[in-house]
Amino acid sequence: MEGKVIRILNNSDLLIGIGSNDGVTFGQKFEIYEPGETVTDPESGTDLGPLDYIKATVEVTEIHPKFSLVRDQSKTRETVSRGLMSAFSETTSKITKININPLPIDEKDISPRHIKQKLIKLGDPVRSI
């Protein structure tokens, strides 16, 4: 399912031009992206498809027939204890962290992406994930 950003309401709320008439559901996730350059297999020359730049991942929070309101609803979990004797507290929550570790690569083989616009703009394409 694909559409476009049709309005930027503020720095967290966007409208996309697809809604319930298109099958959008509450909580559905979409990527806002910039279509990327074509990746080619260096040995065969085969076109492997585009390397799109993902500007943001958003979630539907409000649905209308022809458009939807989306926002970034990223959730983190932390282990937090509350109370006088916090180590023994029953009120806790969990945290999830993601670490990105470097890979053993040859630096001369790096070919970075060519991103035209990192900021979300009116008309940017969106697709369900």
Residue 47: give the domain boundaries.
2-74+122-128
For residue 105, being part of any structural domain is answered with no
Q: What is the CATH number of the domain that holds 18?
A: 2.40.10.410
For residue 33, being part of any structural domain is answered with yes
pLDDT over 80 at 118, yes or no:
yes
Residues 102-115: tens digit of each pLDDT? 767 678 777 676 78
How far apart CA 70 and CA 82 sit, in angstroms, is 33
The total domain count for the chain is 1
Residues 35-51: tens digit of each pLDDT? 999 999 989 999 999 99
For residue 46, being part of any structural domain is answered with yes
For residue 80, being part of any structural domain is answered with no
Residues 12-22: tens digit of each pLDDT? 888 999 999 99
Q: Is-above-0.85 flag for pTM?
A: no
For residue 23, being part of any structural domain is answered with yes
For residue 44, being part of any structural domain is answered with yes
How far apart CA 38 and CA 114 sit, in angstroms, is 11
For residue 85, being part of any structural domain is answered with no
For residue 104, being part of any structural domain is answered with no
Residues 58-99: tens digit of each pLDDT? 989 999 999 999 988 655 566 656 666 555 556 666 777 766
Whole-number pLDDT of residue 75: 57
Whole-angstrom CA distances from 19 to 22, 29, 32, 49, 77 are: 5, 13, 16, 28, 30
